[in-house]
Structure 1
Amino acid sequence: MKLNRYIAILVFLGSTAWIATGEFSFVGSAMSEADPAVEETAEGQTPEAAPKFQTVGTAVIPQVSHARSVRISGVTQADKRTVLTARTGGIIGELNIAQGAIVKEGDVIARIAPEGRDANVRMAEQQLEQAKADAEAQLRLVKQGTLPKLRGEAALSALRVAEAQLEQASAELDRLDVVAPYGGVIDLLQIERGASVDGGTPVATLIALDPIIALGEVNEGDLLVARIGSTADVRLVSGDVVQGEVRYLSRSANAATRTFAVEVEIANPDLSIPDGMTAEIVLRGDPVLATPVPRSVVALSDDGDIGVRTVNDEDEVVFHPIDIVDDSTGALILGGIPEGARVIVAGQNFVGDGDRVDPVEADSETIRKLVEEATSGAL
């Protein structure tokens, strides 16, 4: 017990002596005395402690002349397709072509046996000659006053009837021939020699393959790209790519799909492109000056508009609304970016419009890769 009392007395005396010296203070006071630089910061910031501007990466991306392209699925189609029919009844006496044959305009495809129709023509010719002779004789007698004028008019009427009968017999004979109205290919032959046909019976299907037509439908949002007279590329299922010209654009949308029919006319002199082949049609608009950029560059303004941010000569952020000229796998092709503008390609989402920034220009290799990434698959 005595030892504990002695220890307590010694601790009390030591504490009293330390307090008597005055060598104690608050932690904050001690820090101020130990580090005068902190007092200087509190009164006025030193240059080392001043806030720095946000660092952003910039690049001047070269502009290109780009025509927007629209790809649509389509199919080739014959320029003309006609089902040739018999114009009168009878038996097929001649069949001059085979299925798949190439014919020219005016070629006789088949002929129905005359069966006396040619004799009717010869009879009508004889009757016409007789009517002419009678009319001449009657008119001479009328002129001489031997016959009344009425007999002369009757002879002229008989002559007109004979002429009409010959014309009718000749027309009936002409109906025996089934003639190609234009050049093309006999795609389907529906008769054989010796077959009996009536007027209106299908004989053959004729298709015109030069030119060949690529038919597709374009969305209403891409309607302005398709222009009559513009050039279009057509990629066939065989891998061949041919060029054509837009010749027709529907002005009435399909009620179910809201798409518009478009036709591209393609020269096909060797008839190598068949009817009904699957094709991809590439329509192109007018070339415009645009900037290819990766999708990561696009940002939203403070108002929620889509665009890109650039840095002006005062190192301030400027927002430019954009017009999407084209969209592809490799890049966005944008209009509305001034030529030579320093586009923010890194850090654009960490700054706002009008902010002062510390721009760091991307090196040439980075810019080259940026342009390659942007233009790959887009141009």
Structure 2
Amino acid sequence: MAKIKFHKVAAVIVLLATSAWIATGEFASVGSASAEAEQKREEAQDAPARKVELKTVQVAVPPRLQHARTIRVSGYTAPDKKSVLAARSSGIVEELTVEKGQRVSEGEIILKLQTEGKESALASAQQVLAQREAEATAAERLSKSGNIARLQLDAARSALASARSAVEAAQADLDRVVVKAPFSGLIDSVPVEKGSSIMQGSEIATLLKLDPILAIGEVSERDLGTIKPGDRARIRLVDGRDLDGVIRYVSREASPQTRTFQVEVAIKNEAGSIPAGMTAEISILSERVETVALPRSVVTLSNEGDLGIRVVGDDDTVSFYPIDIVDDTPGALYLAGIPENARVIVAGQDLVRDGEKVHPVDADPELIRKLAGSLSDQAVQ
């Protein structure tokens, strides 16, 4: 038998050892352990960098303003006074001193009917009165001297009282042929003509008092407690005119159908250029309160669904504050309930959470200043 060489035996041993090592899988764990260690080293190096990566938000301290909430209602214009003048007696129109569109003063004669014997009746009653006064005077004198009975004196006094009553009745009947203006105003219609025959109670003219003119609207139950007589109001007519007025009256009884309360706003109308019955939008300015002006985009919701804003505290931590919307105008929202000098998040408020630490940067100062541009005179000093 031939002798086996040493190097062949060594090769066989190395082959067996290598096969056994591969079968155990230890070579894979060495690579995995190396990769895992490398990953841990990279994470350890990146951890400080991640800790300082804070979300950036824009903040601003909005100016505080004294703002009056605006209550807007639809309404219409109406005369301060309106009177439909009627004939107080039947007869023929003898004088008609006015025409449509004419201005009249209080006490001015509008219409006069033919007297038809009423003046003669008054003169006759006055003559009888004079006679009864003379008889009563004589009866008084005779009664004092005892020449007539007490009953004759009483009869003379009664006749005198009847004569006076007859004169008053004749005078009142004569006065009824004349119709006078109960107040100064504008004649809006005259449905009768001179010479026409009218009955007692017939309409003869419509008189309007247009200075001041009223803007009438209705406010809801919720708004009733925020307005009162004397508050200012702005009125926009359908023809585009803008007017100023003052609340004159607020109804204390709601309409049964709408549960709203009528409001009257008095507007100066010396020239009479504002007609009655015109559609108007009434903006009532309620009592002034301290607010801040912010864009609508600033408002967000809390986790509970409350409407509010997010602010950044002194420690750069985010907090949520519920708000009260005082007024909503085309330019901005006027909000109450915001702490003084609060840094309001005006950009990025929906990307952060309450209690989160952020990196705040100041927003463009013109952004907030423009919101209060026309109201800068209302800023709290």
- How is 1:61-140 mapped onto 2 (pairs within 5 angstroms)? 61-140=62-141
The question of whether the paired residues in 2 share the 8 Å contact of 1:213 and 1:264 is answered with yes
Partner of 1:271: 272
Alpha-carbon distance in 1 for matches of 2:43, 2:272: 89
Q: For residue 230 of structure 2, what is the amino acid of its counterpart? A: G
Q: For residue 362 of structure 1, what is the amino acid of its counterpart? A: D
The question of whether the paired residues in 1 share the 8 Å contact of 2:298 and 2:346 is answered with yes
> Structure 1, residues 324-372: CA drift from partner, whole Å, max 9, x if none?
11112332211111121111223322332222x2222134xx2423553
> Structure 1, residues 261-308: CA drift from partner, whole Å, max 9, x if none?
111011222212111122221111122221222222222223322211
The question of whether the paired residues in 1 share the 8 Å contact of 2:58 and 2:361 is answered with yes
> Structure 1, residues 207-256: CA drift from partner, whole Å, max 9, x if none?
11111101112233333343211111112233332211101112333333
Residues 79-88 or 220-229, more deviating: 220-229
Partner of 1:10: none
Give me the TM-score of the superposition, normalised by structure 2. Answer: 0.86
Partner of 2:360: 360
Consecutive unaligned residues in structure 2, runs of 5 or more = 1-11, 377-381
Alpha-carbon distance in 2 for matches of 1:18, 1:66: 92
Alpha-carbon distance in 2 for matches of 1:46, 1:205: 89
1:72 deviation in Å? 1.9
Alpha-carbon distance in 1 for matches of 2:81, 2:184: 10
Q: For residue 149 of structure 2, what is the amino acid of its counterpart? A: P
Cα pair distance change 1:59/1:21, threshold 3 Å: farther
- How is 1:91-240 mapped onto 2 (pairs within 5 angstroms)? 91-240=92-241
Residues 47-56 or 241-250, more deviating: 47-56
Alpha-carbon distance in 2 for matches of 1:197, 1:181: 20
> Structure 1, residues 165-203: CA drift from partner, whole Å, max 9, x if none?
111111111111011111111111011111112211111
SS of the residue corresponding to residue 127 of structure 1 reads: helix
SS of the residue corresponding to residue 194 of structure 1 reads: coil
SS of the residue corresponding to residue 94 of structure 1 reads: strand
> Structure 1, residues 103-149: CA drift from partner, whole Å, max 9, x if none?
11111100110010000011011101111112222222222222222
The question of whether the paired residues in 1 share the 8 Å contact of 2:318 and 2:358 is answered with no
1:44 deviation in Å? 9.6
The question of whether the paired residues in 2 share the 8 Å contact of 1:32 and 1:38 is answered with no
Alpha-carbon distance in 2 for matches of 1:275, 1:342: 50
1:46 deviation in Å? 4.7
- How is 1:245-284 mapped onto 2 (pairs within 5 angstroms)? 245-284=246-285
Alpha-carbon distance in 2 for matches of 1:110, 1:43: 106
Residues 23-32 or 344-353, more deviating: 23-32
Partner of 1:8: none
Alpha-carbon distance in 2 for matches of 1:312, 1:322: 17
Alpha-carbon distance in 1 for matches of 2:246, 2:187: 26
Q: Is 1:336 paired with 2:334?
A: no
Partner of 1:310: 311
Q: For residue 307 of structure 2, what is the amino acid of its counterpart? A: I
Cα pair distance change 1:70/1:49, threshold 3 Å: closer
Alpha-carbon distance in 2 for matches of 1:17, 1:42: 41
1:38 deviation in Å? 3.0
Cα pair distance change 1:242/1:20, threshold 3 Å: same
Partner of 2:3: none
Residues 169-178 or 253-262, more deviating: 253-262
What RMSD in Å do the two structures reach over aligned CA positions? 2.9
SS of the residue corresponding to residue 154 of structure 2 reads: helix
Q: Is 1:48 paired with 2:49?
A: yes
Cα pair distance change 1:297/1:64, threshold 3 Å: same
- Work out the percentage of aligned pairs sharing the same amino acid: 42
Residues 76-85 or 330-339, more deviating: 330-339
The question of whether the paired residues in 1 share the 8 Å contact of 2:99 and 2:189 is answered with no
Q: How many residues align?
A: 363
Consecutive unaligned residues in structure 1, runs of 5 or more = 1-12
Residues 142-151 or 164-173, more deviating: 142-151
SS of the residue corresponding to residue 304 of structure 2 reads: coil
SS of the residue corresponding to residue 140 of structure 1 reads: helix
Q: For residue 165 of structure 1, what is the amino acid of its counterpart? A: A
Cα pair distance change 1:299/1:177, threshold 3 Å: same
1:34 deviation in Å? 6.0
Alpha-carbon distance in 1 for matches of 2:26, 2:292: 66
Q: For residue 236 of structure 1, what is the amino acid of its counterpart? A: L
1:258 deviation in Å? 3.4
Partner of 2:6: none
Alpha-carbon distance in 1 for matches of 2:332, 2:216: 29
The question of whether the paired residues in 2 share the 8 Å contact of 1:327 and 1:378 is answered with no
The question of whether the paired residues in 1 share the 8 Å contact of 2:316 and 2:360 is answered with no
1:26 deviation in Å? 5.6
Partner of 1:369: 367
Cα pair distance change 1:170/1:40, threshold 3 Å: same
